[in-house]
């Protein structure tokens, strides 16, 4: 029998794959307990979109921790100052949910991600925990100043969306929800016409009579980079000088990214103004 992980081959039959145990926790505490039993080689399963492929490529699964029965991480709730999206909310459910109207443009921006089949199963938690630079929720959520909530064996903790790729704390952690602060009445525009090469999210926040634009840019291979500028700024070039010279990948060089940001931003500012 071949080892798909070494050969690059994908198994076409379940007979090539190893059997595994499955557990179905109903609470966050039970899920965390399973995910920290490292001897059992636990793997969390949400929508399974990434995992199904990884398994066929011989990812080792000792115990599959089926998250879908944990009601606590399945809801969307809104309070005066916060929108909370549970980890198990799928792209389809999230972008169709009227509660998201508290962040103007969010339903439309989230609704641009993936195709119908994927949107039906893929969850916001799985998209973030995959830690792939080509996935888009980290870009939208970084622009929105979102906080990502986790539970692990030591308790609860929170990270910014753009901190997730740099922390060792995710081992054994369950992503429980995403909080989007509503202070400043955020309004988002997301441009992905150049995806997968490049995407750009712009969020407008009101601050008294002024407004601030927070911009998250990302390429297929680079994590989001964030800028904040006053909405009425005229000299965009000056601001983008702060982009590190090594923010570039094999397909997009730094000069081209510097050229793209203001071109797309001008369109976004117009669209954001129309949405008011
Ligand atoms: C054809 C196709 C098109 C796609 N298009 C896009 C696109 O346009 N834009 C985009 O952004 N993405 C796209 N994707 C990626 C898709 O969004 C992700 O595959 C999806 O979000 C993963 O979610 P899931 O729930 O299926 O995760 P799973 O496959 O269940 O899990 C993914 C990883 O996260 C872990 N995990 C999942 N949930 C949790 C949790 N709550 N706590 C801890 N660990 C967890 C799992 O153990 C696994 O390691 C596409 C995928 C496919 C196959």
pLDDT digits (tens, 9 = 90+) for 191-208: 999 999 999 999 999 988
Question: Nearest C-alpha to atom 31 of ligand 1 is from which residue?
Answer: 126
Does residue 269 sit within a domain? yes
pTM of the shown model:
0.93
Q: Are residues 95 and 177 in the same domain?
A: yes
Does residue 192 sit within a domain? yes
C-alpha–C-alpha distance, residues 22 and 222, integer Å:
35
Q: Are residues 34 and 55 in the same domain?
A: yes
CA of 51 to the centre of ligand 1 (A): 8
Domains in the chain, number: 3
C-alpha–C-alpha distance, residues 48 and 46, integer Å:
6
Domain CATH for 116:
3.30.465.10
Query: For residue 28, what are the domain limits?
Result: 12-65
Share of the chain above pLDDT 90, in %: 77
Does residue 250 sit within a domain? yes
Q: Are residues 51 and 126 in the same domain?
A: no
Could you tell me the CA-to-CA distances from 17 to 12, 43, 45, 46 in Å, in that order?
10, 16, 17, 20
Q: How confident is the model at residue 4 (pLDDT cuts 50, 70, 90)?
A: very low
pLDDT in tens, 150-176: 999 999 999 998 888 888 889 999 999
Q: Are residues 90 and 134 in the same domain?
A: yes
- Average pLDDT over every residue of 78-95: 97
Among the ranges given (18-32, 98-112, 231-245), the one the predictor scored with the smallest mean pLDDT: 231-245
Residue whose C-alpha is closest to residue 171's, from 66, 68, 35, 57: 35
Q: Are residues 217 and 246 in the same domain?
A: yes
**Cβ–Cβ contacts within 10 Å for residue 147, how many?**
18
Does residue 54 sit within a domain? yes
Q: How confident is the model at residue 1 (pLDDT cuts 50, 70, 90)?
A: very low
Q: Are residues 108 and 131 in the same domain?
A: yes
Say if ligand 1 is within 6 A of residue 179 CB. no
Q: Are residues 104 and 165 in the same domain?
A: yes
Q: Are residues 83 and 47 in the same domain?
A: no
Q: Are residues 212 and 165 in the same domain?
A: no
Q: How confident is the model at residue 41 (pLDDT cuts 50, 70, 90)?
A: very high
Question: Nearest C-alpha to atom 50 of ligand 1 is from which residue?
Answer: 114
């Amino acid at each position: 029998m071949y080892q798909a992980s070494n050969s690059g081959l994908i198994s076409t039959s379940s007979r090539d794959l190893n059997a595994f145990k499955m557990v179905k926790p109903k609470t966050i505490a039970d899920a965390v307990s399973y995910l920290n039993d490292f001897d059992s080689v636990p793997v969390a399963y949400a929508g399974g979109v990434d995992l199904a492929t990884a398994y066929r490529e011989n990812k080792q699964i000792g115990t599959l921790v089926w998250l879908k029965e944990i009601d606590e991480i399945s809801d969307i709730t809104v309070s005066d100052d916060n929108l909370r999206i549970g980890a198990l909310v799928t792209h389809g459910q999230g972008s169709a949910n009227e509660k998201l109207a508290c962040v103007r443009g969010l339903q439309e921006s989230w609704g641009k991600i993936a195709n119908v089949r994927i949107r039906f199963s893929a969850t916001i938690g799985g998209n973030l925990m995959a830690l792939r630079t080509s996935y888009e929720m980290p870009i939208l959520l970084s622009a929105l100043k979102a906080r990502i909530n986790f539970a692990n064996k030591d308790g609860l903790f929170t990270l910014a969306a753009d901190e997730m790729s740099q922390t060792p704390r995710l081992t054994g952690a369950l992503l429980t929800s995403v909080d989007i602060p509503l202070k400043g009445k955020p309004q988002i525009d997301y441009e992905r016409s150049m995806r997968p090469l490049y995407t750009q999210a712009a969020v407008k926040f009101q601050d008294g009579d002024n407004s601030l634009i927070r911009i998250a840019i990302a390429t297929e291979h680079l994590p989001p980079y964030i800028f904040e500028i006053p909405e009425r700024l005229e000299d965009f070039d000056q601001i983008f000088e702060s982009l590190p010279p090594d923010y570039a990948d094999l397909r997009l060089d730094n000069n081209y990214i510097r050229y793209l940001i203001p071109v797309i931003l001008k369109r976004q500012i117009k669209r954001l103004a129309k949405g008011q």
